[in-house]
Amino acid sequence: AIEVHFTPSYMFCPIHNRIMQKWFEEVMGEQCNHRVSLPDGYGEIHVPQVSFNVIYILSHLYRHIFTEGVGLRQLLDYYYVLISDDLLLIRDRVQKELKELGLWKFAGGIMYIMQEVFGMPASRLIVPPNEKYGKFVLNEVLEAGNFGRHDARNRFGRSKLGHNLQRVYRDIRLVRYFPAEALCEPLFRIWHFFWRLKYKK
């Protein structure tokens, strides 16, 4: 089974989402044509470059904080993206893109976790670590776990209504730290509901 995405990722805030979709359009040709050789002569495959993955995976983690929860395993995967030598050459460009996409504070929180939990050296951090955001995000990770399966704060049950109420409850908790995404998430969900009805998804 495969899950087909019409876009690699998205943001809930329309302004940030517009910037993200434009960025995807600009880099997609380069990403789709990037090939690497498999070991032992098994041919070549197309894979995204580190410059793409560092933004894409961070945005994916960001969305999971709002919708399903993030596990330490996902953060460890991101650690291995961040230790690539290629990132050292493009850090200024990545920082500019993170600011434009509204991911700067979240990135600072993730860098705090990378340093405090995984022992990443400061030379490998893509932005300065932010303790305030890092402690908040780490608490969310430890409370909820991967896909929120272990979140004892889920007080609304597993029904569709309960799931939606839980997301509103989570948005309220997140609005202090990430206001643009938290305030737009319920509106995005309503729009997405009607979009799915229209296109029978």
- For residue 139, give both structure tokens: 């608490």
Q: What is the pLDDT of residue 201?
A: 60
- Tell me if 180 sits within 8 A of 72, measured CB to CB: no
CA distance 123 to 2: 37
pTM (predicted TM-score)? 0.89
Instruction: Look over the chain and give the mean of its residue pLDDT values, rounded to a whole number.
Output: 91
Q: What is the pLDDT of residue 149?
A: 67
**Res. 58: pLDDT tops 90:** yes
pLDDT in tens, 120-142: 999 999 999 999 999 999 999 99
CA distance 39 to 154: 45
- Tell me if 90 sits within 8 A of 125, measured CB to CB: no
pLDDT in tens, 5-45: 778 999 999 999 999 999 999 999 999 899 999 999 899 99
